[in-house]
Amino acid sequence: MPNRHSYFVSAMKFTFPLLALILIFLIFLWPNLNTEGLTFELGFSTANLQLSNKPSMINPRFYSTDSQNQHYSITADLAKRANKNSKGKENEILELKMPKADIMMKDGTWLVLTAKNGVFAKKNSQLNLSGAVNLFHDSGFEVRTETAEIDLENGAASGTTFVEGQGPFGHLSGEGFHLLNKGQTIYFTGKSKLVFHPSGKSSSQ
């Protein structure tokens, strides 16, 4: 047992000075080493960043006036440019998620349109809506359908899918619709049905 202890002590007396010498040698040698290939870089995967080839904008807002100098605005949760090769912003076509259009009249009345998806062509002020399309007019009527084409310049809208609406007059349904003068006139097309409630009372006519 004493021999093993003496051997261990002798080995440590040799090993510790050798390690210390190696460390001192590395300290003096390190500045002269080429460490360029030893650096650590943190990068981002392009696959994670480029989820789509189309640049997008969060919460976009677009303001303009129509042919009668009445204001309207378009907002959305997300917008993506549909035509990447278009020249000039006036020719842009934007794909919209959860779009909303607010149209104001000079007399103070307003029309609001919402949907799940939309395509907005800036050049001709055309807004095509799809998915849970809703039209609200401050006169009290609401129209619901699945697709609608909005002419913002002239304050007109139309659709060719099933449509239903309600208001102070009662309940309407049809196979399509035409809206003129920013909601002052609306036609239901195809096979239509009206349940009329005069004076707010429920009765059919």
pLDDT over 70 (residue 29): no
pLDDT at 153: 86
Tokens 């055309």, located at residue: 126
What are the residue boundaries of the structural domains of the chain, listed by start? 55-200
Task: Work out the percent of the chain whose per-residue pLDDT is above 90.
Answer: 30
- Residue 176 identity: G
Range 183-191, long-range pairs (CB < 8 A, 24+ positions): 183/109, 183/111, 183/135, 183/137, 183/139, 183/141, 183/155, 186/141, 186/143, 188/163
CATH 3.30.1200.10 for domain 55-200, yes or no, is no
pLDDT digits (tens, 9 = 90+) for 89-102: 667 899 999 999 99
Q: Give the rounded distance of the alpha carbon of 55 from its chain centre.
A: 11
pLDDT grade for 33, boundaries at 50, 70 and 90: low
More confident site: 5 or 131: 131
DSSP 59-120: S-EEEEE-TTS-EEEEE-SEEEES-TT-SSGGG-EEEEES-EEEEE-TTS-EEEEE-SEEEE
